[in-house]
């Protein structure tokens, strides 16, 4: 993101009395292991754009690709494109040898898990990208941790389609054996289209009805932030989000959203949005009775 783009967005926010995202800490959760390319995801993935957007409102971004350094433990939990190489030595072998190998793998990845969960723990809310065709245990863990702490999770579940698969099926129309092999691959993978982006039913009561989005809605902001084109742009072009995330965040900076109460059939205050106002906490305060004292 260019500094001019960031300044423009911040300037827009300064026309409002409050910027609720100032100093707010946001964790970006989503698949990292089973994406098509970890290198591409790290360099051009959705986290880069969402991070630009939140920082333009003076928010703090916790991105697991770029973890904050730890005081006194500068290499602790760092993750790179080869972080998963250790699992290549995985074995189900019984006995001491197998136990040692599995213990070594678990110990190596513990630092990453520890840092990521600490980022979730210290964030004010989580943004979770959860396409139904990508397996991710860590994302579910991070979502559950956030919800156990009654913190909002903004859940993005995009449409899932396989246009290349449809083209291949059409290409093999006259090849009976080829079509049979294709359908076997579809069943074995499995390939399950989800054109409406319907999330798992388990997530619905866990997240809350007001925090589901079917895309990011990048298009109106691409020029403003000077973002390079990515494959996700084609997906959102083909399936324009009905409820995009970025406009919601932009509105969140101005006003705290309410939640729908199905019993009263009305919108009511949502006390999950506890966004701390930390300005001034590092400065001394004055007590009417005790004079000057410092915060703990």
Does residue 164 sit in the same domain as residue 101?
no
Strands annotated E in the chain: 25-29, 60-62, 125-129, 153-156, 212-213, 259-261, 266-268, 285-287, 291-293
SS3 13: helix
Residue 127 phi, psi dihedral angles, 5° rounding: -105, 120
- If residue 212 lies in a helix (H) or strand (E), which one and from where to where? strand 212-213
Does residue 274 sit in the same domain as residue 175?
no
State both tokens at 207. Answer: 């997240």
Does residue 171 sit in the same domain as residue 243?
no
Helix segments in 63-175, DSSP class H: 95-122, 137-148, 163-171
Write out pLDDT tens, residues 129-155.
999 988 889 999 999 999 999 999 999
Domain termination residue (choose one: 192, 208, 238): 192
Nearest to 253 by CA among 109, 113, 57: 57
- For residues 110-117, average pLDDT: 90
Write out pLDDT tens, residues 65-96.
988 888 877 666 666 655 666 778 889 999 99
Where is pLDDT greater, at 11 or 221?
221
Does residue 107 sit in the same domain as residue 188?
no
Residue 280 phi, psi dihedral angles, 5° rounding: 90, -10
Domain termination residue (choose one: 176, 192, 208): 192
DSSP 267: E
- For residues 239-266, average pLDDT: 95
Does residue 152 sit in the same domain as residue 246?
yes
Task: Give the number of domains in the chain.
Answer: 2
Q: Is the distance from CB of 115 to CB of 83 less than 8 angstroms?
A: no
List C-alpha distances in Å: 5 to 46, 123, 142, 201, 250.
18, 25, 31, 38, 15
- Residue that has been written with the tokens 């199905």 in this structure: 262
Does residue 201 sit in the same domain as residue 186?
no
Question: The dihedral of CA 82, 88, 92, 94: what is its sign?
Answer: negative
Where is pLDDT greater, at 284 or 225?
225
Does residue 74 sit in the same domain as residue 186?
no
* pTM recorded for the entire structure: 0.84
Write out pLDDT tens, residues 148-198.
999 999 999 999 998 899 999 999 999 999 999 999 999 988 889 999 999
DSSP 104: H
Does residue 44 sit in the same domain as residue 165?
no
Q: Give the distance between the most distant pair of CA atoms in the chain.
A: 89
Range(s) of the domain holding residue 165: 160-192
Does residue 40 sit in the same domain as residue 53?
yes
Burial class (CB in 10 A: 0-12, 13-18, 19+), 259: middle
CATH number at residue 38: 3.40.50.450
Does residue 241 sit in the same domain as residue 255?
yes
Does residue 97 sit in the same domain as residue 203?
yes
Does residue 9 sit in the same domain as residue 116?
yes
């Amino acid at each position: 993101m260019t500094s001019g783009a960031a300044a423009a967005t911040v300037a827009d926010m300064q026309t409002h009395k409050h910027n609720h995202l100032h100093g707010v800490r946001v964790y970006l959760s989503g698949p990292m292991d089973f994406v098509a390319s970890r290198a591409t995801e790290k360099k051009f993935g959705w986290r880069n754009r969402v991070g630009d957007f939140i920082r333009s409102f003076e928010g703090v971004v916790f991105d697991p690709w770029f973890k904050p350094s730890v005081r006194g433990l500068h290499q602790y939990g760092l993750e790179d494109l080869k972080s998963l190489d250790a699992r290549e030595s995985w074995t189900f072998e019984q006995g001491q040898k197998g136990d040692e190998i599995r213990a070594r793998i678990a110990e190596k990845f513990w630092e990453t898990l520890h840092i990521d969960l600490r980022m979730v723990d210290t964030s004010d809310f989580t943004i979770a990208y959860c396409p139904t065709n990508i397996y991710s245990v860590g994302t579910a863990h991070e979502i559950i941790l956030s919800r156990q702490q009654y913190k909002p999770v903004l859940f993005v579940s995009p449409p899932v389609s396989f246009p290349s698969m449809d083209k291949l099926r059409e290409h093999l129309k006259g090849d009976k054996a080829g079509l049979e092999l294709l359908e076997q691959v579809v069943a074995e993978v499995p390939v399950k289209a989800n054109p409406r982006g319907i999330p798992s039913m388990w997530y619905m009561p866990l997240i809350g009805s007001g925090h589901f989005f079917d895309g990011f809605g990048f298009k109106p902001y691409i020029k403003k932030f000077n973002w390079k084109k990515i494959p996700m742009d084609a997906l959102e072009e083909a399936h324009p989000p009905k409820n995009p995330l970025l406009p919601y965040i932009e509105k969140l900076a101005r006003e705290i959203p309410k939640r729908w109460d199905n019993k009263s059939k009305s919108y009511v205050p949502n006390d999950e949005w506890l966004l701390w106002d930390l300005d001034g906490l590092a400065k001394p305060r004055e007590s009417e009775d005790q004079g000057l004292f410092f915060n703990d």
